[in-house]
Every structure is written in C-alpha cells, then in structure tokens.
Amino acid sequence: MVYTPRSARHGALLVGTVTVLGLLTACGNGNGADSSPPVTVSGTAAPATDTSKSPVSATSADNDAATASTGAAPSSAAGTTAPSKRAPATAAAGSRCHTSELRASVGRNDPGAGQENFPVVLTNKSARTCTLRGYPGAAFVNGSGTQLGPDPRREAGSPVTVTLKPGQSAWAGLTFSNPGISGAKTATPAALLVTPPDERDHLKVPWSGGQVPVSGNASSVRLTVLSPGTGP
C-alpha cells in the first residue's frame, strides 16, 4: 500500500470537485442559449392579406347592394326642394260681371203708342272693370215670391259686349202692351227679379210700375239686349 501524504489527498479532492462543476456548467442552465436543434413542422401557409386597401363601410355596402338590385343610385334627402305654392287665381279685369258685383234698378216708364217701356239697369258696384253681354233674365213675383205670368220674350237684336268700369251701367228695355188696351189679364207685382247674363243668382228690385199683363191676348212681356248707359 502506497502511502499518500495528506496534502496530496486534499489537492486531489479539490481537483475533482472543480471538474464536476465544470461539467455541470457545460450542460447549460436557465440563463444560457438554447442549444437544441430547430424543429420543422409540415403544412401549407395561408395567403397573405393586402392591408393597403381601405375597409368598406356598412353604409357603402348597403348602397352598393341597393344600386345592384334596382339599377338606380340611392336617393338622398339633401338638396330636395319643396314644391312652390301658387297664389289663388283672382277675377281678371275685364271678365264677366257677376251678380254679387252688380246693383239692379228699374227706371221711369216711357210710354208710347199703347206700349209701356221700362229700362232695367245693371250698375257695376265693384272695384274692378267687368263686362256684360246679351240679355238679362227677368220675372215678376208677388209678395210671397211666386212668379206672375210667363218669362219675358227676347226681342230680336245684336248682342254687344258692354264694358263697365266701377260705377258704370248698362240697360235693357222691358216692354209690354198697356193692359187697358190689350184686354189681357193683369196682376200687380211686388218685385221684379233680374238675373245678369250667364249668371244664376238674381237681384230683387221693388216694382212700382203698376199692373202688368200675366195671361190672355197680347200679354207678352219683352226684353231687349243690354246697351251702355241707363236708358234711351
């Protein structure tokens, strides 16, 4: 048995310890680089996405769908103009005189050759100019409004257009044979109803001309066309 000095044994133990520590360091620790070889995974890569294009908004997509289905671009409320309202039409100057624009009266009798002749006058009481043309309508009525006798007949004549400025008048002749001469049956009217040409509404004028023929021979009452003025 070989004797080894104590100091030698102590040195050998120290050398061994250092050797073991060196091996542990060579195997790596948590702070060292990973020395494992790279791992390869098989498969197909997904296609790359182009991020340079702007995303399409929901509104744009909806409008595109509406255009594709209808063939027309979507409408917009912006820029829409409400339809203009026209002013109501008013009576034009020079148009026909209406009943509400006139005043009626009966002038004084101008008898002659067994005839009674009364001018029936229509006066423009409005603020505008209007016209009359043709024959007025007329009817005698009693106090209860019942007509006395037939409607007057129209005498032959050539109608003319009479232009009436405010305050101006036109007249038509109301003529009948004197009942005392003709022997016709008579009545005394309470009023004469006068209807302007082409109108439906009438004007009521108190009658103060006495008896008028209502039936029998020579009982006809006649009217002439309207002329400018208030009488012959």
What is the CATH code of the structural domain delimited by 99-228?
2.60.40
What per-residue string of b and e applies to 86-98 under the rule 16 or more CB within 10 Å gives b?
eeeeeeeeeebbe
Q: Which is it for strands 153-154 and 221-223: parallel, antiparallel or unpaired?
A: parallel
Say if residue 192's pLDDT is above 60: yes
Distance CA 21, CA 18 (A): 5
d(CA 67, CA 161) in angstroms, rounded, equals 63
Sign, Cα dihedral of 169, 174, 180, 181: positive
- What whole-number percentage of the chain has pLDDT above 70? 59
The two three-digit tokens of residue 4, written as one number = 């080894």
Q: Which of 188, 189, 176 is nearest to 217 (CA)?
A: 176
Q: What are 7-50's pLDDT values in tens digits?
A: 444 444 444 444 434 434 444 444 444 444 444 444 444 444 44
pLDDT digits (tens, 9 = 90+) for 75-120: 444 444 444 445 444 456 669 999 999 999 999 999 998 899 999 9
